[in-house]
């Protein structure tokens, strides 16, 4: 399984569990749930071995497509789709299937005007979902035995697990396009993403070694390692996390961050925790960090930085601009 929105769920769970050993177990379990990627899986070759624009189905019905660890058959173009995953919601609208979406979960907030509801992707209620009379439900995992419950009502569920690589993102977008009858639109989205990301990577200045970064997920210093999906994207842009492995989402200490002295700091906790570059600079000793001293503390859109989907291009562009602005002679140290 994978979770609807990724790392923010991890911290919501761990903060609600006071026993440190239980937190450790939960975070260990997360490694089996969240998307992970090795450094070798995400290089400057953003296309991998998969040809640009490749689709798995021509969009004619009935069609059979992969769904999680199995396959599903769609008898006709769906006209009433419920999305229980923010990443899936963004894919549906990106390929032009927005008019077919009748309801989205309570975490889906993009693009503007999506039919938001109180439906939960974390603990889905099958009866509540069926209340929207869907002919297709899209989710990131089979939480609460969702698939079986919907199958009893003869409603297919398309599972799009958390992506491990950019190629996974492209495949899912193409799959959404095939299932919804927007094959050409999906191929266009994928081609545009590939082109845009390749252009960013090609425009990066050459460096002898990667720049180092610390990404702050909340104000207790949880961070990301290179083995995460986002960490892999950053690696493609010439960055290396100061967070050690093998834990994908380790909790660091202020002392370890100060000792690592990262070149860049990314803040994904401005919205949740009110952390700004000014707050970071005011922490004891942090004003001496290279990133703080050089003005390289950068807030990120937490949604963009935690979802896999079409807007990963926005993250690549933002981080690419930040990386390009760091003089090659000033880093790494």
Q: Does residue 46 register a pLDDT over 80?
A: no
Element (H, E) at 255: helix 254-260
Span 7-34+203-330 CATH architecture? 3-Layer(aba) Sandwich (3.40)
Are residues 317 and 311 in contact, defined by beta-carbon separation less than 8 angstroms? Answer: no
Are residues 167 and 233 in contact, defined by beta-carbon separation less than 8 angstroms? Answer: no
pLDDT at residue 44, as a whole number: 37
> What DSSP assignment string belongs to 258-325?
HHH--SEEEES-HHHH---HHHHHHSTTGGGSHHHHTT-EEE--TTTTT--STTHHHHHHHHHHHHHT
- Going by C-beta distance under 8 Å and a sequence separation of 6 or more, which residues neighbour residue 224? 7, 215, 217, 230, 231, 241, 243, 248, 249
Are residues 249 and 222 in contact, defined by beta-carbon separation less than 8 angstroms? Answer: yes
pLDDT at residue 159, as a whole number: 97
Q: Which of 218, 310, 226 is nearest to 266 (CA)?
A: 218
What's the pLDDT band for 58 if we cut at 50, 70, 90? low
* pLDDT tens, position by position, 149-208: 999 999 999 999 999 999 999 999 999 999 999 999 999 999 999 999 999 999 999 999
* pLDDT tens, position by position, 285-301: 999 999 999 999 999 99
Token digits for 19?
């026993």
Highest-pLDDT range among 11-20, 21-30, 287-296, 299-308: 287-296
- Going by C-beta distance under 8 Å and a sequence separation of 6 or more, which residues neighbour residue 142? 1, 68, 157, 159
Strand partners, 241: 213
Strand partners, 212: 240
Over the chain, what is the mean pLDDT?
Answer: 85
Token digits for 135?
């002919």
What's the pLDDT band for 328 if we cut at 50, 70, 90? confident
Q: Taking the domain 63-182, which CATH number applies?
A: 3.40.50.1980
> What DSSP assignment string belongs to 2-62?
--SSTHHHHHHHHHT---HHHHHHHHHHHTTTS-B--GGGSSS-TTTTSPTT--S--S-SS
Token digits for 200?
């960013």
> What DSSP assignment string belongs to 158-188?
EE-PPPSSHHHHHHHHHHHHHHHT-HHHHHH
Predicted model pTM: 0.82
Q: Do domains 7-34+203-330 and 63-182 have the same CATH topology?
A: yes
What's the pLDDT band for 23 if we cut at 50, 70, 90? very low
Domain boundaries, the chain: 7-34+203-330, 63-182
Token digits for 269?
């906790």
Token digits for 329?
């002679």
Q: Does residue 18 register a pLDDT over 60?
A: no
């Amino acid at each position: 399984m994978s979770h609807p929105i990724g790392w923010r769920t991890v911290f919501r769970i761990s903060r609600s569990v006071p026993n440190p050993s239980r937190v450790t177990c939960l975070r260990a379990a997360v490694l089996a749930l969240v998307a992970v990627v090795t450094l070798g899986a995400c290089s400057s070759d953003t296309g991998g071995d998969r040809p640009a624009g490749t689709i798995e189905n021509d969009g004619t019905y009935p069609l059979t497509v992969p769904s999680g660890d199995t396959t599903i058959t769609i008898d006709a173009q769906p006209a009433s789709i419920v999305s229980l995953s923010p990443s899936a919601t963004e894919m549906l609208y990106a390929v032009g299937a927005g008019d077919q979406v009748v309801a989205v979960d309570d975490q889906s907030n993009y693009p503007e005007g999506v039919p938001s509801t109180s439906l939960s992707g974390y603990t889905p209620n099958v009866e509540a979902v069926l209340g929207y009379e869907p002919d297709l439900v899209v989710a990131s995992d089979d939480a609460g035995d969702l698939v079986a419950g919907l199958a009893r009502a003869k409603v297919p569920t398309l599972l799009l697990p958390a992506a491990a690589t950019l190629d996974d993102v492209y495949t899912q977008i193409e799959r959404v396009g095939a299932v919804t009858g927007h094959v050409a639109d999906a191929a266009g989205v994928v081609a545009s993403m590939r082109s845009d990301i390749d252009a960013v990577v090609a425009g990066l200045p050459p460096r002898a070694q990667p720049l180092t970064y610390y990404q702050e997920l909340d104000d207790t210093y949880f961070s990301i390692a290179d083995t995460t999906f986002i960490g892999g994207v950053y690696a493609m842009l010439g960055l290396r996390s100061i967070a050690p492995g093998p834990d994908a989402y380790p909790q660091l200490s202020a002392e370890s961050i100060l000792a690592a002295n990262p070149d860049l700091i990314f803040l994904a906790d401005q919205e949740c925790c009110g952390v700004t570059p000014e707050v970071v600079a005011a922490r004891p000793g942090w004003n001496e960090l290279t990133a703080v001293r050089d003005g390289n503390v950068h807030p990120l859109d937490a949604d963009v930085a935690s979802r896999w989907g079409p807007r990963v291009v926005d993250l690549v562009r933002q981080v690419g601009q930040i990386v390009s602005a760091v003089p090659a002679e000033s880093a790494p140290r």
